[in-house]
Each structure stands twice: as C-alpha cells, then as structure tokens.
Amino acid sequence: MKPIEFCGRSLEVVRQFPATIKRESGYQLDRLQHGFDPQDWKPMTSIGAGVREIRIQDHGQYRIIYVAKFSDSIYVLHALQKKTQKTRKTDIDTARHEYEALKRKLLK
C-alpha cells in the first residue's frame, strides 16, 4: 500500500472541507492506496503527465488533484472547492507549481 503525502497547503484545505466531503475524500484516497482508481476522476494533463483529479460532488464541487505515477507515494498536489464549472487558473497554477517542486525534489 502506497503512503499518501500532501504537498503545500493541500492537507490544510482538505481538513476544512465539510465532514461528508472529508469522509468521501478519505475513501477515494484509500482506493488509490489499494491500487484502484477513484470512482470519479479525470486526467489533468494541463498540469503534468500522470496528474489526475478526484471529483466529489455533494452540496458543491470539490476536487483533489494528485499524482500516483511515482513508485514511492501518492502525492496530493492541491485540493479545492469549485465555484464554477471551469477550474480557476490560480488553482491550476498552484497544482502545477507543486508538481514541478515535487519533480525537483524527487530527482535530487
């Protein structure tokens, strides 16, 4: 089972989600740890190769952006609540920044 590592402020953001969303987030991340895909996800190629987002919809839209292609861990790059259909540029930029920082760290 792969461990999960949270990058940047992602853990802090997930902790601020409503209780039902936190529970569902934990369940979907547990599926990843056991080698299964989340129930609702999509690739986020605009952020980087292998980056995906978990989509949770319950009284709003919540997203957890992660990468699981590395052998050592699952990395949560960013978490957010969406207010519109389109993901905000600042959220994409934050996830992209965390992904680039992660790649630099892993290549050392």
Domains of the chain: 4-107 (3.30.2310.20)
Q: Could you report the per-residue pLDDT of 41-92, keeping only the tens digit for each?
A: 999 999 999 999 999 998 899 999 999 998 889 999 999 999 888 999 999 9
Residue 42 in contact with residue 1, Cβ under 8 Å?
Answer: no
Tell me the residue ranges of DSSP E strands in the chain.
4-6, 41-43, 51-57, 61-67, 74-82
Is 64 within 8 Å of 53 (Cβ atoms)? yes
Determine contact, residues 52/41, Cβ cutoff 8 Å. yes
Residues 54 and 101: their CA atoms lie apart, in Å, by 21
pLDDT beyond 80 at 21: yes
